[in-house]
Chains A and B, each alone.
Chain A
Amino acid sequence: MAKVVFTEFFVKELKKKFSEQEGNKILDLLESLEENPHKGKELTTVGKAVIKEIKYGNYRFYFVTDGYKIKVLKISELHDLMIKFVRMSRTSVLDHDQKSSISDMSNKKDQQKTIDEIKRVLTLLGEEGF
């Protein structure tokens, strides 16, 4: 069974935007990922980690999972990590199968593909993102 954890920023934001009751409902939903880690829409993969989103009302919550851990984080944290990817993946190339993934191979020609994939994922992190 995978274990769900939350970043401090996420919990702070949750407390700020929702009542305790609503916040607990959201935590219930996210905790249910422990039993059903396949829930949520896959956005992209990074190595063996998968970035996914799950909807709650008008909100979309983002999490990363490697099958053992499920880390729920704020959209801005995900943004920052994706930007870090761009910097770290200067010599990366994307594996464009049916699902796109951010995997590393060193080929400068394909570097743009990595950046394009990051941009694609960033555009998916919409306004309803939490």
Chain B
Amino acid sequence: MNTTIAIPNELRDQLKEFGNKGETYGDILERLLNSAKQRQLQELLMDTKDCLTVEEARKRLKR
């Protein structure tokens, strides 16, 4: 089932630029969303905020 969403023409044109031959706007959006989600998942896994280096870890072991 399809629906209509209102977006500025400029945004639609930008979206079009991402498209490949034969792709619908839905296809383009789906592909962009998939890519964003995959990056998000990867960032979550690879987030090294608050992580310790080897040297820091060794210091902690000493304490």
Contacts and interface: CB of A to CB of B under 8 A. Distances in A.
Interface of A: 3-8, 11-12, 14-15, 20, 23-24, 27, 30-31, 46-49, 51, 64, 66, 69, 71, 81, 84-85, 88-89, 91-92, 102-106
Contacts of A8: 50-52
Contacts of A91: 37
Contacts of A102: 41
- Interface majority SS on A: helix, strand, loop or mixed? mixed
Contact of B53 (A5, A12, A105): A5
Interface of B: 30, 33-35, 37-42, 44-46, 48, 50-54, 57-58, 60-63
Given A24-B61, A105-B34, A89 B50 contact: no
B38 A104 contact: yes
- Interface majority SS on B: helix, strand, loop or mixed? helix
A48 B38 CA distance: 9
A31 B54 contact: yes
Contacts of A3: 53
Given A11-B60, A11-B61, A27-B57, A5 B41 contact: no
A23 B58 CA distance: 8
12 contacts: A6-B54, A7-B51, A46-B42, A46-B45, A48-B42, A71-B51, A88-B37, A88-B40, A88-B41, A102-B41, A104-B37, A106-B30
